[in-house]
Structure 1
C-alpha cells in the first residue's frame, strides 16, 4: 500500500471521531486543551487497536477465502464507506448530553463505537500485502489529531461541518475499495 493510500485511509478512519469531537466541542462550549488531548488520546488509542483486531481475524480466515479476497476487501470498504456517507447525508446527531460527555466511560464507549469501521477495514487489510502496524499507527495518530482538533474547533464550526467530513471520508473508502478491486481484476 502506498504512502498516499495509508494517509488517505488514516484520515478516512478518523472522520467518525472528528465528527463526534466537533459535536462534543460544540456542546461543551469552551473545552480546555486537556479535554481535547484526553479525547484525542482515547479515540486515537482505540482507533489504532481496532484495525489490528480486524486484521488478526482476517488473517485467520485468509486461507479459506484467498480466491475472493479482493472482493471481500471491496465489499467491506464499500460497506463502511456507504455507511459513513449515509450517516452524513442522514445528518445523524452525534451529540450527547453535557453530563454524559464528561464521563470517561462514555468517552471510551463512544470511541469504540466510532472505531468499529476501522475493525472492518482491518479485516480487509488482512487480504492485502500491507504492514498493519504502520497503518494502525497512522490511523491512531490521525485520529488523535482530528479528535483533539475537533474538540477545539467544535464550538466554532458546529456539527454540520463534521457531517461533511464524514461524507467525504465515506467516498474515499468507497474509492479505495474500488481501487483494490480494479487492481486485482486487471492483474489477471
Structure 2
C-alpha cells in the first residue's frame, strides 16, 4: 500500500470518529484543548488498535467479523445517540443546567470503539493482502487523533451557538452514522 492509499484509508477511517467528536464537543461546557486532546488520544488509540485486532483475527475469523461488525456499530452508536438526545431534551427544559467539563473515559472509549469497528474489518482485509499493518494502523490512529481533536473544538463552537439543541443534533448524528454503517453493509451483502 503506497503513501497516498494509506492517507486516504486513514482519512476514511477517521470520518465517523470526527462526526462523533463534534457531538461530544457540543455536549460539554466549553471544552478546553486539554479535553479535546484527551478525547483525540482515546479515539486515536482505539482506532489504531482495532485494525491490529482485525489483522490478528486474519483469515480464520474474517467471515465472523464481517458478519457482525455493522450490527455492533449500529447498536452502540444508536444507544449512545438516544442517550444524547434524551440528555438534550431533558436539558432543553432547563437551559440553565450546567454541562459537564469532560466526558468519562468509558463513555469516550465506548464511542471510540463503536466508530472503529469498521477499522477492524479493514484490518482483516489487510491480512488478506499481506500488508504491513503497523504503519497503516499508526497512520489511522494519528489521523483519527487529529480529526477528533478538531471535532471536539468544532463542537465547542457549535454548542455555544445552538445550546442544548446541539446535543440533540449530536445524538441524531450518532444514530445516523450507525444507520449508515448498517445500510451500507446490508446493501453490499
- Return the TM-score normalized by structure 2: 0.64
- Residue 66 of structure 1 corresponds to which residue in structure 2? none
Contact 1:23–1:94 (CA under 8 A) maintained in structure 2:
no
CA change 1:116–1:35 in 2 (3 A) is same
Q: Structure 1 residue 122 and structure 2 residue 123: aligned?
A: yes
Partners in 2 of 1:150 and 1:26 — Cα distance? Answer: 10
How many residues align? The count is: 148
Cα shift readout 1:77-97 (whole Å, capped 9, x = no counterpart) = xx97xx99xx9xxxx948734
- Residue 146 of structure 2 corresponds to which residue in structure 1? 145
| C-alpha displacement of 1:102 | 1.9
CA change 1:8–1:144 in 2 (3 A) is same
Q: Structure 1 residue 133 and structure 2 residue 137: aligned?
A: no
Partners in 1 of 2:135 and 2:53 — Cα distance? Answer: 14
- Return the TM-score normalized by structure 1: 0.64
CA change 1:114–1:148 in 2 (3 A) is same
Contact 1:19–1:94 (CA under 8 A) maintained in structure 2:
no
| C-alpha displacement of 1:60 | 4.9
1:1-188 alignment, distance < 5 Å: 1-60=1-60, 93=81, 96=84, 97=87, 102-157=103-158
CA change 1:32–1:94 in 2 (3 A) is farther
CA change 1:95–1:8 in 2 (3 A) is farther
The gaps in structure 1 that reach 5 residues or longer are 63-71, 175-188
The gaps in structure 2 that reach 5 residues or longer are 88-98, 160-165, 185-189
Q: For residue 27 of structure 2, give the secondary structure of its aligned residue in structure 1.
A: helix
Partners in 1 of 2:158 and 2:118 — Cα distance? Answer: 25
Contact 1:24–1:95 (CA under 8 A) maintained in structure 2:
no
| C-alpha displacement of 1:124 | 0.8
Partners in 2 of 1:95 and 1:122 — Cα distance? Answer: 30
| C-alpha displacement of 1:133 | 0.4
Aligned-residue CA RMSD (Å): 3.4
Partners in 1 of 2:135 and 2:117 — Cα distance? Answer: 19
